[in-house]
Amino acid sequence: MKELMKGNEALAEAAVRAGCRFFFGYPITPQTEISEYLARRMPGVGGVFLQAESEVAAINMVYGAAGAGARVMTSSSGPGISLKQEGVSYLAGAELPCVIVNIMRGGPGLGGIQPSQSDYFQATRGGGHGDYRLPVLAPGNVQEMVDLTGLAFDLADEYRSPVYILGDGAVGQMMEAVELPPDCSAGPAKSWAANGCRGRGKNVITSFFMEAADLERHNLKLQEKYRLISSRETRGEGYLTEDAEVLVVAFGTTARIAKAAVKAARAGGVAAGLFRPVTLWPFPAEQLQQAASRAGAVLTVEMNYGQMVEDVRLALQCRLPVHFYGRGGGMVPYAGDICNQIMGLGGDDHGYCGVKPA
Amino acid sequence: MGIAVSSRPETLTGAGFHYCPGCSHGLVHRLVAEVIDELGLRESTVGVASVGCSVTAYNYFNLDMQQAAHGRAPAVATGIKRVLPDRLVFTYQGDGDLASIGLAETIHAASRGEKITVIFINNANYGMTGGQLAPTTLPGQTTSTSPAGRDVGSMGHPIRMVELLAALDGPAYLARVSTHNPAQVVKARRAVKRAFEAQLKGLGFSLVEVLSACPTNWGLKPAEAMKWLEKNMLPYYPAGEFRVAEGV
Amino acid sequence: MKGVIPLAVKVSLILEKNRCKGCGLCVAFCSRRLLRAGEELNTLGYHPVEMIELERCNGCGNCSVICPDLAIFVQKEESL
């Protein structure tokens, strides 16, 4: 049976169902509902919700809890995610599993509270200092806020890595009917956790290697992990890509709007298609190449000034012209405007192609 | 029959300390280890190492440890204790870590009454990075970033952490001790034990501030450094128990 | 005094030379001035402490309490 839920709350409920019993967060729009929902929900499942004194404190509480062997999550938006970056680098270096949710808002700086996708670089290029990458999952609707949360916890434990869920203010705030998964266990037992050395040698959780040779060895181990994740965990979805001559590439909420634009373009006589990456890292390059196999042009649409488009160009190895259309500052693109862009690339000059702005 | 009066604690790995000759870190590591041995809790303790000269404390303590970012140990310890409420959880931090970059985490963990124990090494400078100004550097004290001596007009006054935390309701045990002679070291050990016991009894946050010597950065021989500590630090940072909750 | 059997207590100091950093704290705090800086070098490159007149040691333990490097220990042997 489906339930009508707000995106942020659906994500929070999905975390609980995935066995997450520890959440450390801090209020910031547009994701505060995640904290508020878990403040109500955690006590009932014997879990812990703690509002930390800052996003910095929160990510370090996550570090402690993850090192102790628990399934743990934190969430924030732009400025708060920036504050967390030192902690995220430490989590990656110490190989600690956890889930970090960014419900993106307009930036840079204090920016605004309306949706954006301007933290793509920050999420996919590590975000903090040092050589590391993190799996990044991009939900496109409220059901995916549920489904990708469970996946995030599983990936985190399997690879001993933090995992990002990169949403935006639109999918965080909107309400849709969702199917929730059953409760599952708290994940596998972790023999590496620092939880008291009864009956074994001591465990140490650290990202510090004073000797360069040791640190290099550690980094090579991390790189091998990232290679493995890249080979196994890419996810993407195609829509009308089999015969697409103009391929639109978009993620998250933007993809949803782009889908309407693609439909309108088809009605207008252009063979448009849509490829939607679901993992932003590892980027689904092979699936994208496949989707673009018949295309003569690619249009990347984002709620930023050009971030994922760089990965699109890299994936297509500059074989095709890759165009970009984006809106930022919290403005959400109109399907009609995207359609006009598509039509322009498809050789027709219809101008406004009959799809009304939302 | 032989009775050893003293010996290496089981809670220490026995690895030689990298600390400078006369540094109080080795002393305090030993005290903490002795108390954990006495309580029989080596296998159910989790320690949190911080950033400073003691960053590799996890090489010296023979128990599970996590290494925390600079200043964040109380937050890391909070995460650990909330997941493992029946373990003994302690942090081991220097003055830059605890009172500068980590001041918010220190105060909030204390205010929440987080059931952790903080061992705070106050040696009036940032040791690891070569002796810079710390929030605990005394007025007039020369450091590499206050070469003309700490000028309170532009650099502010030192922070008395134990007194600051004593204004909060969360802490159950707050004490300041010294290491400048054997009698003080014995008192320090007693305070560490009371702090751990406060945690074990579930009474709240506990902290022991340990006035410590840093001979290298103070530019003094170890025995002189102990004298300097006694003469200059004690008057500013008086020893004593500043909070002893009922039941401790 | 009834019921008291005199015990002979033999005190020995155990010095782990290759842990000692020659910091001199035990020398400064020995209640009977029985320790001094040595001349030889140990494996760490320091001059470890030396014991003089060990027979006068009363096992007060100041040295082992103040030592930061687990380099000096007091051992007491009690016999009838």
Which CATH number covers residue A151?
Answer: 3.40.50.970
Assigned domain for C44 exists:
yes
- Considering only CB atoms, which chain C residues are within 8 Å of B186? 65
Across the interface, of B44, B76, B83, the residue whose CB is closest to A60 is B76
Which residues lie closer than 8 Å to A24 by C-beta, 6 or more apart? A50, A51, A52, A57, A58, A59, A61, A62, A65, A72, A74, B79
Subunit contact A64:B80, Cβ cutoff 8 A? yes
Number of structural domains (chain A) is: 2
Residue B1 has pLDDT above 60, yes or no: no
Calculate how close chain B gets to C40, using CA atoms only, in Å.
17
Calculate how close chain A gets to B79, using CA atoms only, in Å.
4
In this prediction, residue A346 carries a pLDDT of 75
- Considering only CB atoms, which chain B residues are within 8 Å of C78? 1, 3
3-state secondary structure of B108: helix
Provide the domain limits for residue C64: 8-79
Q: Per CB distance under 8 Å, which residues of C are interface residues toward B?
A: 19, 21-25, 27-29, 44, 46, 59, 61-62, 64-70, 73-79
Residue C71 has which token pair? 């380099």
Query: How is B186-221 classified by DSSP, letter by letter?
Result: HHHHHHHHHHHHHHHTT--EEEEEEE---HHHHT--
pLDDT bin (cut points 50, 70, 90) of residue A353 is: very low
Distance spanning both ends of chain C, measured CA to CA: 16
Task: List the single residue in A with minimal CA-CA distance to B49.
Answer: A206
Residue A358 has which token pair? 């939302």
Distance spanning both ends of chain B, measured CA to CA: 37
Among all chains, which residue has been given the structure tokens 């003080």? Answer: B184
Region A259-272: mean pLDDT is 96
3-state secondary structure of B96: helix
Q: What is the pLDDT of residues B212-233, one digit of tens each?
A: 999 999 999 999 999 999 999 9
Query: What CATH number does the domain containing A314 carry?
Result: 3.40.50.920
Task: List the single residue in B with minimal CA-CA distance to A87.
Answer: B69
d(CA A1, CA A216): 51
CA angle A279, A285, A290 (to 5 degrees): 115
Subunit contact B222:C66, Cβ cutoff 8 A? no
d(CA B180, CA B193): 19
In this prediction, residue A186 carries a pLDDT of 74
Task: List the single residue in C with minimal CA-CA distance to B14.
Answer: C70
Q: What is the dihedral of CA A134, A42, B73, A122, to 10 degrees?
A: 30
Q: Per CB distance under 8 Å, which residues of B are interface residues toward C?
A: 1-8, 12, 14, 16-17, 19-27, 30, 181-182, 185-186, 215, 221-223, 226
Burial bucket for residue C47 (CB in 10 Å: 0-12, 13-18, 19+): middle
Q: Which chains touch B (3 or more CB pairs under 8 A)?
A: A, C
Task: For residue B16, give the DSSP letter.
Answer: P
3-state SS, chain A, equals: CCEEEEHHHHHHHHHHHCCCCEEEECCCCCCHHHHHHHHHHHHHHCCEEEECCCHHHHHHHHHHHHHCCCCEEEEECHHHHHHHHHHHHHHHHCCCCEEEEEEEECCCCCCCCCECCCCHHHHHCCCCCCCCCCCEECCCCHHHHHHHHHHHHHHHHHHCCEEEEEEEHHHHHCEEEECCCCCCCCCCCCCCCCCCCCCCCCCEECCCCCCHHHHHHHHHHHHHHHHHHHHHCCCEEEECCCCCCEEEECCHHHHHHHHHHHHHHHHCCCCEEEEEECEEECCCHHHHHHHCCCCCEEEEEECCCCCHHHHHHHHCCCCCCEEEEECCCCCCCCHHHHHHHHHHHCCCCCCCCCCCCC
Would you say C73 and C62 are in contact if contact means Cβ atoms under 8 Å apart? no
Q: Which chains touch A (3 or more CB pairs under 8 A)?
A: B
Across the interface, of B63, B76, B108, the residue whose CB is closest to A197 is B63
CA angle B29, B31, B34 (to 5 degrees): 110
Note the ipTM here.
0.93
Would you say A134 and A119 are in contact if contact means Cβ atoms under 8 Å apart? no
Across the interface, of C25, C29, C74, the residue whose CB is closest to B5 is C74
Write out the H or E segment, with its range, that includes residue B36: helix B24-39
d(CA B28, CA B35): 11
Assigned domain for C70 exists:
yes
Assigned domain for A40 exists:
yes
Assigned domain for C2 exists:
no
Subunit contact B4:C74, Cβ cutoff 8 A? yes
pLDDT bin (cut points 50, 70, 90) of residue C75 is: confident
d(CA B211, CA B185): 10
Residue A112 has pLDDT above 80, yes or no: yes
In this prediction, residue A350 carries a pLDDT of 41
Domain end point (choices A201, A232, A263): A232
Subunit contact A68:B83, Cβ cutoff 8 A? yes
Q: Which of B42, B59, B82 to mutate to test the interface with A (most CBs of A within 10 A)?
A: B82
Domain end point (choices A184, A200, A232): A232
Residue A5 has which token pair? 């839920």
Q: Which of B5, B184, B221 to mutate to test the interface with C (most CBs of C within 10 A)?
A: B5
Across the interface, of C29, C44, C74, the residue whose CB is closest to B181 is C29
- Does the beta carbon of B53 lie under 8 angstroms from any beta carbon of chain A? no
d(CA A90, CA B49): 14
d(CA A149, CA A79): 22
Task: List the single residue in B with minimal CA-CA distance to A74.
Answer: B79
pLDDT higher at A348 or B60: B60
Cis-peptide, bond into residue A108, ω within 30° of zero:
yes
Would you say A84 and A55 are in contact if contact means Cβ atoms under 8 Å apart? yes
Residue B152 has pLDDT above 80, yes or no: yes
Region A276-293: mean pLDDT is 98
Assigned domain for B2 exists:
no
Q: Which of B46, B53, B58, B63 to mutate to test the interface with A (most CBs of A within 10 A)?
A: B46
Would you say A238 and A206 are in contact if contact means Cβ atoms under 8 Å apart? no
Query: How is B112-154 classified by DSSP, letter by letter?
Result: TT-S-EEEEEE-SSBTTTTSB--TTPPTT--BTTBTT---HHH
Query: What CATH number does the domain containing C62 carry?
Result: 3.30.70.20
3-state secondary structure of C13: strand
- Considering only CB atoms, which chain C residues are within 8 Å of B3? 75-78
Give the torsion sign (CA, A192, A197, A199, A203): positive
Pairing relationship of beta strands A297-302 and A246-249 according to DSSP bridges: parallel
Region B100-126: mean pLDDT is 98
- Does the beta carbon of B56 lie under 8 angstroms from any beta carbon of chain A? yes
Q: What is the pLDDT of residues A180-198, one digit of tens each?
A: 999 987 788 899 999 999 9
Burial bucket for residue B116 (CB in 10 Å: 0-12, 13-18, 19+): buried
Subunit contact B3:C22, Cβ cutoff 8 A? no
- Considering only CB atoms, which chain B residues are within 8 Å of C8? none
Residue A356 has pLDDT above 50, yes or no: no
Q: What is the pLDDT of residues B26-77, one digit of tens each?
A: 999 999 999 999 999 999 999 999 999 999 999 999 999 999 999 999 999 9
3-state secondary structure of B91: strand
pLDDT bin (cut points 50, 70, 90) of residue A97 is: very high
Calculate how close chain A gets to B2, using CA atoms only, in Å.
30
Provide the domain limits for residue B40: 24-244
Region B236-243: mean pLDDT is 98
Region A49-78: mean pLDDT is 97
- Does the beta carbon of B36 lie under 8 angstroms from any beta carbon of chain A? no
In this prediction, residue B6 carries a pLDDT of 72
Half-sphere exposure of B23 (CA within 13 A, CB side): 20
Distance spanning both ends of chain A, measured CA to CA: 29
Q: Which of B54, B81, B83 to mutate to test the interface with A (most CBs of A within 10 A)?
A: B83
Number of structural domains (chain B) is: 1
Region B98-112: mean pLDDT is 97
Give the whole-number percent of chain B exceeding pLDDT 70.
Answer: 98
Average pLDDT, chain B: 96
Subunit contact B67:A195, Cβ cutoff 8 A? no
Average pLDDT, chain A: 95
Assigned domain for A326 exists:
yes
In this prediction, residue C4 carries a pLDDT of 63
Would you say A283 and A234 are in contact if contact means Cβ atoms under 8 Å apart? yes
pLDDT bin (cut points 50, 70, 90) of residue C5 is: low
Chains C and A touch (3+ CB pairs under 8 A): no
Which residues lie closer than 8 Å to A226 by C-beta, 6 or more apart? A132, A133, A282
Residue A307 has which token pair? 């971030």
Task: Name A282's bridge partners.
Answer: none
Region B164-176: mean pLDDT is 98
Residue A121 has pLDDT above 90, yes or no: yes
Residue A173 has which token pair? 């705030």
Provide the domain limits for residue A332: 237-345
Q: Which chains touch C (3 or more CB pairs under 8 A)?
A: B
Which residues lie closer than 8 Å to A310 by C-beta, 6 or more apart? none
In this prediction, residue B5 carries a pLDDT of 63
Burial bucket for residue A310 (CB in 10 Å: 0-12, 13-18, 19+): middle
3-state secondary structure of C15: strand
In this prediction, residue A352 carries a pLDDT of 41
- CA nearest neighbour of C64 among B122, B186, B121: B186
Region B81-99: mean pLDDT is 97
Q: What is the pLDDT of residues C15-63, one digit of tens each?
A: 999 999 999 999 999 999 999 999 999 999 999 999 998 889 988 999 9
Across the interface, of B44, B68, B83, the residue whose CB is closest to A198 is B44
Q: What is the pLDDT of residues C59-71, one digit of tens each?
A: 899 999 999 999 9
Are both A69 and A154 inside the same structural domain? yes
Are both A194 and A254 inside the same structural domain? no
Assigned domain for C1 exists:
no
Number of structural domains (chain C) is: 1
Query: What CATH number does the domain containing B68 carry?
Result: 3.40.50.970
Q: What is the pLDDT of residues A211-258, one digit of tens each?
A: 999 999 999 999 999 999 999 999 999 999 999 999 999 999 999 999
Assigned domain for B18 exists:
no
Calculate how close chain C gets to B15, using CA atoms only, in Å.
9
Would you say B63 and B47 are in contact if contact means Cβ atoms under 8 Å apart? yes
